[in-house]
Amino acid sequence: MLEIHQLSVLSDNYVYLVRDSVTGQTGAVDPAMAEPVLAALKRLDWTLSFIINTHHHPDHVGGNDALVRETGCQVVGPRADAARIPGITLEVGDGDEFALGEAKAQVFDVPGHTRGHIAYWFRDAAALFCGDTLFALGCGRLFEGTPAQMWHSLSKLKVLPPETRIYCAHEYTQSNGRFALSVEPANSRLVARMQRVDELRAAGQPTVPSTLEEEMATNPFLRPDSLEIQHTLGLPGAALVDVFGATRALKDNFRS
């Protein structure tokens, strides 16, 4: 069994502590900073075995050096971007399996946000750690990749089991949802989801994780086949990759 503990750090980052309950092996997914991770490990009485990085941005690797110094943990991260992952000791890429004790994760290369971005799918736990690739109601900005690359990356994640929980790295859901409603206002699942999101945020609660099933039904970046989105964008019948690219470009300039 994979135990998952969610930490809010910085303004909107999530760090996940994950532990294989069979062996006690423990990972910290994208530790933006070290102190809150060390404090949580102490509280939980967990011993850090691995930092598990999805990509090189400072709000994901900022705690690496101090955590390695304090705990002697290993660092697993993208082979394609090893030079930008501080302290990396285990390089993984598409199709590799990462073992956190008995808990096994399949690795996907998901370039687009950065060129070396990877995601970790713990199949038995139905948990996907996808960093800044797929967000609740959104997807990452294309800093180092093309729309076609990102669409290909998202297409690998879209086909995972619908019950997969989406552990993304930021609480962006409310602003993502305002954009989503602007391109697909008649999507009743989206309208209902946003009501729930607003309630959760008003109560100071996280909206993450969601499930892939919810994202498939409401996230515009997974829905370029939606006739309403195609109509909003003026791209009826266009190739899905082009609808996706136009949606991403529109979001880049969206002010909610």
Q: Which residues bind Fe ion (CB under 5 A)?
A: 59, 132
Active-site residue identified among 20, 55, 56, 117? 55
What are the beta bridge partners of residue 119? 108
Q: Which residues from 27-46 bind Zn ion, rule CB under 5 A?
A: none
- For the question of residue 56 being annotated catalytic, the response is no
Pick the catalytic residue from 30, 59, 81, 109.
59
**Rounded-to-integer distance, Cα 186 and Cα 218, Å:** 11
The answer to the question of residue 117 lying near Zn ion (CB under 5 A) is: no
> How many alpha carbons fall within 13 Å on the CB side of residue 111?
13
Which of Fe ion, Zn ion, none is residue 223 near (CB under 5 to 8 Å by kind)? none
Q: Does 132 bind Zn ion (CB under 5 A)?
A: yes
Spatial strand order of the sheet with 118-122 comes to: 97-100, 103-109, 118-122, 127-131, 165-168, 210-211
Write down the catalytic residue from 20, 30, 56, 57: 57
Six token digits for residue 90: 């285990």
Rg (CA), the chain: 18
CB of 110 to Zn ion, least distance (A): 12
The answer to whether residues 122 and 20 touch, using CB atoms and an 8 Å cutoff, is no
> Is residue 170 annotated as a catalytic residue, yes or no?
yes
Q: Among candidates 204, 189, 76, 188, which has minimal Cα distance to 131?
A: 76
Is residue 251 at the binding interface for Zn ion, with CB under 5 A as the rule?
no
- CB of 19 or CB of 56, closer to Zn ion: 56
Q: Which is nearer to Zn ion, 52 or 233 (CB)?
A: 52
Task: Single out the segment in contact with Zn ion by CB under 5 A; choices: 52-60, 179-187, 188-196, 242-250.
Answer: 52-60
ω into residue 147 within 30 of 0, thus cis?
Answer: no
- Residue 93 structure tokens: 């890429």
117 counts as catalytic: no
Kindly report the number of other CB atoms within 10 A of residue 83's CB atom. Answer: 8
Complex with Fe ion: residue 131 or 224, whichever CB lies closer: 131
Site for Zn ion (CB under 5 A): which residue of 31, 32, 54, 57? 57
Q: Can you give the binding site for Zn ion, defined by CB under 5 A? A: 57, 132
**Which of the residues are catalytic?**
55, 57, 59-60, 113, 132, 170
